[in-house]
Structure formats: C-alpha cells, structure tokens
Amino acid sequence: MMRFDVDHPEILEAVRRALAEDIGSGDITSQACVPIHVRAQGRFFAREPLVVAGVELLPVIYQQRGGVEEVRLQVASGDEVQPGQCLAWVRGLARTLLECERVALNFLQRLSGIATLARRFARAVEGTRCRVLDTRKTTPGLRRLEKMATAAGGIMNHRMGLYDAVLIKNNHIAITGGIREAIFRARRLGRPIEIEVRNREQIEEALECGVARLLLDNFTPEEAAAAVRLIAGRAQVEISGGITLENVRAYAETGADFVSTGAVTHSARAVDINFRLEPL
C-alpha cells in the first residue's frame, strides 16, 4: 500500500486542468435538471478485479469545486479489490457530484489500470533478482501521477525526466561520434552514467570506460543472457526494448538487474469503475 502525494503542485494543476477541460463555463445539463439545493451521495465501486491507484485524488477534485461535505476513502492506492467493492463514497451538492463524476472516473480508471498492469509485471518476475522499471512513455502532463500508479502496482520508477539521471542513448552516441566521447563528456556532470549498448563490441567499450549501468537494447532473452555473463557484475544491467507481460519472465531470468517497459503506461487499459449517485 502507498499514498499519493496529492499536494504536489503538478498534481494540483493536473486536476485543475482536467476540471476546466470538462466543466468549462458550467455543467448545463445538471444546471437545467437539478435544483441548486439538492444534496446526494455517491459511491465509487469496482466492476472487475483491479489494483487501486489515485483514489486519494478524490478529495482534491471535490475541494477544487466546493459544495461537498464528506469524502470517505474505503481503500488506498496499492490495494487489490474485487468486483462490487466500494472504493470511496462522497456526500454533498448533487450538482457538484455530477459535474465532477467524469473527471474523477477518468483519473481512477486510468491510474488503476496502470497499477493493475504494473502488479502483473511485478508478479511475473517474482523469485528472480530482477526488478521491473517504468519509463518516460507516459501521457503528457500526467507523468508524476502515472509513475505513482506504477509504484502502487509494485514496480520501480526509472528517471522522472531528462533532468534527474544520465542515460546516454544511441542518438547521443551518433551525435557525439562514439561511446567513448559521449561518456567523456557526460563525466563532467559527476553522476553515475548509464549507456545504451546494442552489441558485444559496444558492451566491451562501455565497460572499459567504467560506466555504472549498461542498457541492453532490443536483445533477445538468449542474447541478453550471454551479455550478462560477459558483463559478469562489472556494471548493473538493464534490459529494454520489446518487453511484454509474456516475455518479461524470460528476460528476468537472464540475471539482469532490471527490465524496463513502456507498456505499463502507454498500453495499460483503463479498468472498469462505476459511480452510482442517489438523492438524500
């Protein structure tokens, strides 16, 4: 179980933008159909087995709109729930509950879908020494939330962005003129260096330069296992490229320290969560 840092400015801004996008100048249907004073209570519940993520956003969503008296969370991010289980209930002005319904569900369904898939990846490598990492292949503007969802599912966050870790990739190598030159230039940062390699020659060259981690890109499981034996503990090993739920176990069993997959965020299916409203 983990808690979302819902007070982070990026998250507050994401919620604000989502509400503004959907509500705009006002929910004209609810304003026409529902008297302003009517109060109601609503319940969020799962309609399939899932791992919850983002439920802590609900109080933030309603606080930004006002008119809600109480929000009770019945679960926390990282919890596994079954169909029919209540995730949260809320009580307040019916208009507010109606206008926030889709935004609340969009966040819950998307983030819980990521956490659910992340849990499957984490379980697929249980019993090995390998850990699954997420990537930067996230929805623009929602990276912090989506990476919190992957963590809720039980996998590790890779770098948050281009600013917090050194990762020399193939295009860096091509632009700078080679592995040695790219590593030489990156060393001025004084940070551990990870570099992408694609064959035995590049592995040997990077190891001679003393990098901290090698990223094996688009290796087969058999090729990756041979590379891990060649590296022999001289650097940490991460495998990336084409990692799926179906093959992640084979890659984890190569002896690598990490496998990274963008699928956990870019290909996660939104799970089925429902909101049911009733008058008070």
The set of catalytic residues is: 102, 137, 169, 196, 217
HEC-encoded secondary structure of 9-34: HHHHHHHHHHHHHHHCCCCHHHHHHC
- Residue corresponding to tokens 């030159």: 181
Residues 73, 77, 79, 85, CA torsion sign: positive
Place of tokens 């060393």: 187
Location of structure tokens 């969802």: 149
**Residue with structure tokens 């929602």?**
142
- Structure-token pair, residue 158: 């890779």
SS3 content of the chain, % helix, strand, coil (to 5): 40, 20, 35
Q: Are 51 and 278 within 8 A, CB to CB?
A: no
Residues 6+ apart with CB under 8 A from 164: none
Strands 86-93, 39-46: pairing kind: antiparallel
Point out which residues pair with 154 in neighbouring strands. Answer: none
Q: How far apart are CA 177 and CA 198, in angstroms?
A: 16
Q: Token pair of 106, please? A: 């969009």
